[in-house]
Structure 1
């Protein structure tokens, strides 16, 4: 006769359904997503550098792509991901010092990260368009 094993009694983790999604939780997820997006954006930067080293024809092809609507949207998203990830890192640095863990402080830092990343991205692109003469 087969001997049946009794299951081990282990504590169960609370199901995610009981948690209310907060802005801090959402920005933690977005921070991870932007980290992954930066990997692919860095591949675009490497493509641009390789094309610049390869010669004028290759560089012109990359510039044509980057200057298209799709290219500009990708570059805008890359800029936002870079700024957002950086500000998220600053928020984590503040937390590493033991500050900003109160509920109001956490929400303020998270909101500052979100608003700051959007604002700085727009500022960088506006200044870039002004000084670089707009889209070519």
Structure 2
């Protein structure tokens, strides 16, 4: 008997549930934070070395594209923290039923985006 499974998955047609989407974003945000560590440390070291370097640092981070990158890092941090708390609760078997899992996944997205908009707006 031959199996009729698809040989090639059509990824745009696959609909990922919201908790799965939050899980993937958690991994992406963690990778983004990890990859940003050397750049942030280099910038911080440069800003602390002298007054001239600090002024150069201020000029660099005042560029709108750099500000958008920093807001993306802010989102990554906030999303990773919110989703991490959600996963800690899942690890102790709280919120495992499907309706609660969907609500907490939506809460993670809403809270992380809202906090990013508020803090990013204040810092812009």
Tell me which residue corresponds to 2:77: 82
Give the distance between the partners of 2:40 and 2:104, measured in 1 at CA. Answer: 30
* Equivalent residue, structure 1, for 2:65: 70
Correspondence for 1:93: 88
Q: Which runs of 5+ in 1 are unaligned?
A: 1-13, 130-136
Residue in 2 that maps onto 1:29: 24
Superposed CA RMSD: 2.2
Distance 2:51 2:26 in 1: 37
For 1:15 and 1:120, the matched residues in 2 are separated by 42
- Report the counterpart of residue 47 of structure 1 in structure 2: 42
In structure 2, distance between residues paired with 1:127 and 1:41: 22
Q: Kindly state the Cα deviation for residue 24 of structure 1 after the two structures are TM-superposed.
A: 1.1
Q: Which runs of 5+ in 2 are unaligned?
A: 1-5
Rg larger for: 1
Output the TM-score relative to the length of structure 1.
Answer: 0.75
| More RCO (CA 8 Å, sep 6+) | 2
**Deviation of 1:48 (Å):** 2.5
Aligned residues: 116
CA deviation after TM superposition for structure 1 residue 45, in Å: 2.2
- The worse-fitting range, judged by mean Cα deviation, of 41-50 and 31-40 is 41-50
Question: TM-score, normalization: structure 2?
Answer: 0.82
State how far apart, in whole Å, the 1-side matches of 2:8 and 2:23 are: 15
